[in-house]
Amino acid sequence: MRNFLKICLAIVFIFSSQKVNSQTLTMPTSLTADTSDFVLLSSSGTTPSISGFSDTLLVTIVASAGNVKVTTTTNLLKAAGYCGYSSDASSEPTDCTGNSLDEVGFRGSQEDINTALATISFKGDGSTGSPTITVSITPTGSSYFSGNGHYYQVYNSNAIRWANAKTQAESKTFNGLSGYLVTIESAEENAFIFSKISQNAWIGASDSSTYTSNSHAQTEGTWEWVSGPSNGKTFYCQLAGFANSMAAHADCTVHGDTTYNNWDTAEPNDYNSTDPGDEDCGHIKGASASNGKWNDFPCTHNKVDYYVVEFGGTEGETATVSGQTTLTINSVEASGSTFDPFDDKQVKGIAKGQLANSKRFMFNTTNQVMRRMEQFRRTGENTSTGISDLRLVMLDEENNVPPELVDHYVEEYKKALLAKNNISDLTISGYLIDKFDIKTNNWAFWSVGSISKGRFHLGSDGELGRQNRTEGFTLGADISYNDRSLFGIAFRQEDDMEDIGNDGTRFLARSQNISFYNTWHPSEKNFFDFFIGYGETDFDVTRIVDLSNLENTLKGELKGKQYFGSLKYNLSDSFKNFNINNYSRYDFGFVRFNEYAETGNSNSKLFYDERDVNTASFSIGSSVNYDINFVRSVLIPYLKIDYREDLTGQTEIKARLVGNSTKYSTKIGEDFNNMVMLETGFDWVFYNGLNIKILFARIDKSGLGHENSFDFRLLKSF
């Protein structure tokens, strides 16, 4: 293939199908592709198909250069005389019938044929000419020749004489076309007919005065086509010198547009041992060694069993049922700047998906930790005992409330009322320690299991859509070191499967990170949350180069690192029985993707350079929660809305073909400029120190797609 990887082919389909009774052949209108490997015609966005046909059909796919193939041939039968299902020698079956044909032929129902048509693919041979692919659909019983648009049928009639063959041929019709004994006027047509026969067959050629034109005083040696649209046209003037031959008359002149002939060596010779000069009718030899050569026989010869009928070309006649599309390939030897692997939608989709995955991993990790700190403030877990702690510890073994505790609490309650303070901020930790030797819980271990699914429709700008499924698990531990302040550490494991388009291109990302967090309460209503983390991701990448040949699937292994953090300011307040928290948040990160190379059988495999990405975002949001008290637990439902503006700029990605030093680059921007997140769920706090949290979240990303997530969180204080 040498430099053919740099050949960008502009493929234009010239649709010329005829339609009657809603019978149609649908093909793509355009496709641009590198055809150094097989390229599906359906990759243009239009899948080849037929409709309106009820009978068993014949499909032929002919390439004048390169290779064509189909990969799904269920319930189809190989058409006689064609090169099986594929003209590519590496594909099965490869049983071409004696000729090296770039033709695919098969028979079957409309449904089964449509299944096969969807898998038509083309592979170039490195030429820079203008080869063609012709797809034709006809009812079974005929063979379509794209060179002239005619149909052909081979008939077996034992020991038929030439005149009878001519008469029978002219009595036949096909698709509204009149039949006639075949006239062969090009080498291509001759090869086509030869591929359809296995024995000698009559053709519509004669030099007998019985059948030829009356314009010649002597017709012997003047060979004419005596049937069909070419009736009366002289195609050969016989020369003297053969045994028992007679020279053509001096006024024999070959007709200007019928100069082709394929006589065998020393033929025609008019040789007949019983009747010299009586070999006046032509036939084509069917033996494999003959290569379709012609011979003259006596017209009354009874040793020819076959004849070929041709349909088409008769003035005023048009086929009533047919479909034909010719694909013209205009190939140009391109410069390195013209060929760009990033023009491949899958290549660009993988690059964008990798960036989106890293940002999603950092975002998910940060959110889980931030939710833990929000939970800490909502529930009062791991803090000096507030009103919620009172419910957890004030009952003794006999479920009696110590009177001293009640008295102290009443006094604190009165002070709070006078000062118009929030009752939930009341603390009695010191009193519990002094009077009852009750120490509040400090350490808590928590875990979160999360599942999310996302779908991003990027077809509006010509890119492939993406779908992801993410499963994550977070384990954390934290300690409160003073009233409403918390320090902790968290570990997260996340698996993300992302599909690029629908053809099998995807990657699996396995990520791990560690993070540290702290919440600080400088005043009654103000909180600051701090977060910093480090993570690593392993990508297993699969890129489908050609659906018709999965052996060309490319693989790649990529490693990435993330350094990231977050700063969040919270302003809390209450209204009646509702607790409200408004916040602003700034996230930042740094991602480094290592270099990596694709592996596989395709010449399209790429080597990617190392690349760095700086990320940033700013968000504002608000949450509201409400306490519902039970005998031994508290249920705290909440609702949160968040708006996030992504501040990440474009990053450059560079790649080259493996084994080639020429580098290509493109800019990868953000998939979205902003997103809106709506989250709802509840915290269920039990008096034994167990805390269960369940939430549902939906993220909409600037109208381009969405992601839904479900979290289950479990916390236990010790």
The SS3 call for residue 366 is helix
Mean pLDDT of the chain: 76
Model confidence at 160, in pLDDT bands (50, 70, 90)?
very high
At residue 383, the pLDDT reads 37
CA atoms of 28 and 8, how far apart (whole Å) = 18
At residue 339, the pLDDT reads 61
Tokens of 694: 């369940």
CB 102, CB 67: distance < 8 Å: yes
As separate numbers, helices (DSSP H) first and strands (DSSP E) second, the chain gives 7, 39
At residue 1, the pLDDT reads 38
Express the helix, strand and coil content of the chain in percent, nearest 5 each: 15, 45, 40
State the DSSP code for 609. Answer: P
CA atoms of 576 and 479, how far apart (whole Å) = 31
Model confidence at 185, in pLDDT bands (50, 70, 90)?
very high
CA atoms of 717 and 393, how far apart (whole Å) = 13
Task: Indicate whether 325 pLDDT > 80.
Answer: no
pLDDT over 90 for what percent of the chain? 25
Task: Indicate whether 428 pLDDT > 60.
Answer: no
The set of residues, in sequence order, having a beta carbon less than 8 Å from that of 484 and lying 6+ positions away, is 377, 383, 384, 519, 521, 527
CA atoms of 1 and 35, how far apart (whole Å) = 10
**C-alpha 335: how far from chain center:** 27
Beta bridge partners of 607: 597, 656
CB 285, CB 295: distance < 8 Å: yes
Task: Tell me the residue length of the chain.
Answer: 718
Torsion angles phi and psi, residue 73, rounded to 5 = -130, 30
Cis omega (within 30 of 0) for bond into 268: yes
Task: Indicate whether 413 pLDDT > 90.
Answer: no
Tens digit of pLDDT for each residue in 348-400?
A: 889 988 998 999 899 999 988 998 888 887 775 443 333 333 333 333 444 45
Tokens of 251: 């006024």
CB 382, CB 444: distance < 8 Å: yes
At residue 214, the pLDDT reads 57
**Conformation bin of residue 43: beta by default, left when phi > 0, alpha when psi is -120 to 50:** alpha
Residue range 447-452: mean pLDDT, rounded: 84
Residue 290 or residue 536, greater confidence: 536
Tokens of 453: 């699914």
Residue that is written with structure tokens 């290779």 in the block: 67
At residue 335, the pLDDT reads 28
For 671-689, what is the HEC assignment?
Answer: CCCEEEEEEEEEEEEECCC
Q: Is the dihedral of CA 276, 277, 278, 282 positive or negative?
A: positive
Residue that is written with structure tokens 């003073």 in the block: 482
Nearest to 704 by CA among 461, 456, 467: 456
Tens digit of pLDDT for each residue in 121-152?
A: 777 665 545 566 777 777 665 677 767 878 88
In whole angstroms, how far apart are CA 636 and each of 297, 393, 520, 633, 672?
A: 102, 19, 22, 10, 33
The SS3 call for residue 415 is helix
CB 311, CB 142: distance < 8 Å: yes
In 396-509, alpha helices (H): 403-419, 429-436
In whole angstroms, how far apart are CA 358 and each of 82, 504, 594?
A: 52, 21, 13
CB 186, CB 209: distance < 8 Å: no
Task: Indicate whether 22 pLDDT > 50.
Answer: yes
Report the range of poorest mean pLDDT among 185-189, 217-221, 227-231, 530-534. 217-221
State the DSSP code for 378. Answer: H
Nearest to 371 by CA among 10, 713, 115, 651: 713
Query: Which range among 57-71, 335-349, 525-539, 664-678 has the greatest average pLDDT?
Result: 525-539
| Amino acid occupying residue 411 | E
Tens digit of pLDDT for each residue in 573-606?
A: 888 778 899 999 999 999 999 999 999 877 788 9
Task: Indicate whether 87 pLDDT > 60.
Answer: no
Residue that is written with structure tokens 């939970």 in the block: 375
CB 375, CB 713: distance < 8 Å: yes
CB 6, CB 514: distance < 8 Å: no
Task: Indicate whether 246 pLDDT > 70.
Answer: no
Tokens of 56: 């068993």
At residue 386, the pLDDT reads 34
State the DSSP code for 228. Answer: G
The set of residues, in sequence order, having a beta carbon less than 8 Å from that of 19 and lying 6+ positions away, is none
Tokens of 657: 């073909």
Nearest to 88 by CA among 105, 101, 97: 101
CB 544, CB 499: distance < 8 Å: no
CB 446, CB 477: distance < 8 Å: yes
Torsion angles phi and psi, residue 23, rounded to 5 = -90, 120
Tens digit of pLDDT for each residue in 329-344?
A: 443 322 233 567 887 8
For 535-602, what is the HEC assignment?
Answer: EEEEEEEEECCCCCCHHHCEEEEEEEEEEEEEEEEEEEEEECCEEEEEEEEEEEEEEEECCEECECCC
Strands 306-311 and 674-686: unpaired
Report the range of poorest mean pLDDT among 55-59, 68-72, 89-93, 588-592. 89-93
**Conformation bin of residue 207: beta by default, left when phi > 0, alpha when psi is -120 to 50:** alpha
At residue 455, the pLDDT reads 79
The SS3 call for residue 357 is helix
| Amino acid occupying residue 150 | H
Residue that is written with structure tokens 């409200």 in the block: 580
The set of long-range contacts for 555-558, using a CB threshold of 8 Å and a minimum separation of 24, is: 555/598, 555/599, 555/600, 556/596, 556/597, 556/598, 556/599, 556/608, 557/596, 558/354, 558/593, 558/594, 558/596, 558/608
CB 477, CB 485: distance < 8 Å: no
Tens digit of pLDDT for each residue in 639-653?
A: 999 999 988 888 899
Tens digit of pLDDT for each residue in 263-275?
A: 998 888 876 655 5
CB 706, CB 454: distance < 8 Å: yes
Q: Is the dihedral of CA 1, 102, 229, 251 positive or negative?
A: positive
